[in-house]
Structure 1
C-alpha cells in the first residue's frame, strides 16, 4: 500500500477516535482533543491527494476510499453537532443529500467509464465546511472545556458566536447546493431519463 492510501486509511481510522473524544465529556478537554483529531484528519485529506498526483501514485483503492473518507469524516462531525444542538437538522440534511446525490452520480458515471473529478465549487465547499467544523470545535472547546466565557458578558459572547457559527453552517449548506447543482448540470447526461 502506498503512502497516499495509508494517509487515507489513517483518516478513516481517526473518525472513531474523533467520536470518542467528542462524545465522552468525562475525558479532560474532550472538545479540544476532538478538534485536534479532526484537524489531523483534514491534513491527511490535503496530503494524500497531493502526494498521489505528484508522485503518480493514484490507485483505484485511493479513488474509492478518499472521497468516502472525506464524506464520512464531515458527516460524522456534523451529526455530532446536530446531536448536541450546535447546528440544526435542516442544513445537515441538505449537506447529506448532496453527498448522496454526487456519490450516486459518480457511480453511474464510473459505470460509463467517466471519472468525475472534484471541481472548483466542490473543493470550495469541502474547504469551507472543514473550516466551519473547526470553528464550531474551537467554540465548543473555549465554552465547554475551558469555560472561557464565564464573564459578565458571557450571554452576549455566546449569542454573537451562535450567530456567526449559524451563518457559517448556512454558507456551507449554500455552497453544498451550488456545487451539487453544478455537478448535476454538468453530468446530467448520465442520468437523463430522456436519453
Structure 2
C-alpha cells in the first residue's frame, strides 16, 4: 500500500475517534467559558481531529498525482473517506443540535447523487472530473463545519453568526455544485 492510500486510510480511521470526542459526554470536565461563550475540551479535540482529517484530503491526492501513485484502491477510498468524514460530522452536529437536519440531508444527498453520477460515467467509460464548484463546495463545507464544531469561535465573541452564514453558504453552494455536475454531464445519463 502506497503513502497516499495510507493517508486516506488514516482519514477514515480518524472518523470514529472524532465522533467519540463529539458525542461521548464527559461531565467531569468543566467547559471553557469567556463571557457568554462556552466550549468543551472534547469539542476542541474533535475540531482539531476534523481539521487534520480534512487537510489530508488534498494531501493524499497531491502525493498520489505528483509521485505517480494513483491506484484503483485510492480512487475508491479517497471519495469514500471524504463522504464518511463529512456525513459523520454532520450527523453528529445534528445530534448535538448545532446543525439543522435538512442541511445535513441536502449535503449528504448531493454527495450520494454525484457519486452515483460518477459511477454511471465509469460504466460508460467516462470520468467526471472535479469541478471548481465542487472544490468551492468542499472548502465552504469544511469552513462551516469547523465554525459549528468550535461554537462559532471567535465570531461568537463579537456577536456575528458566522457559523450560520457559513452553513447556509455551504448548503447553497452544495446544491449549485450538484446541479452543475448533472448539467455538464447530462450526456452520461443520456438526457441530451
**How high is the TM-score relative to the length of structure 2?**
0.87
Q: Can you give the 5+ residue segments of structure 1 that lack an aligned partner in the other structure?
A: 143-147, 149-156
Q: Partner of 2:70: helix, strand, or coil?
A: coil
Secondary structure, in 3 states, of the residue corresponding to 2:63?
helix
Q: CA deviation at 1:160?
A: 3.5
Higher helix fraction: Structure 1 or Structure 2?
1
In 2, the alpha carbon distance for the partners of 1:122 and 1:58 equals 20
SS at 2:187's partner residue?
A: helix
RMSD: 2.0
How many residue pairs are counted as aligned between the two chains? 179
2:99/2:148 contact within 8 Å kept: no
CA distance in 1 between counterparts of 2:114 and 2:173 reads 14
Partner Cα distance (1:118, 1:65) in 2: 16
Query: Cα deviations across residues 98-156 of structure 1 (Å, max 9, x unaligned)?
Result: 1111010000001111121211100110011111111112227x6xxxxx9xxxxxxxx
2:10 corresponds to 1:21: no
Structure 1 counterpart of 2:133? 121
Distance, in Å, in 2 between the alignment partners of 1:48 and 1:134 is: 21
User: Runs of 4 or more off by more than 4 Å in structure 1?
Assistant: none
Gaps of 5+ in 2: 30-40
Under a length normalisation based on structure 1, what TM-score does the superposition of the two structures give? 0.85
The one of 21, 38, 41 equivalent to 2:53 is 41
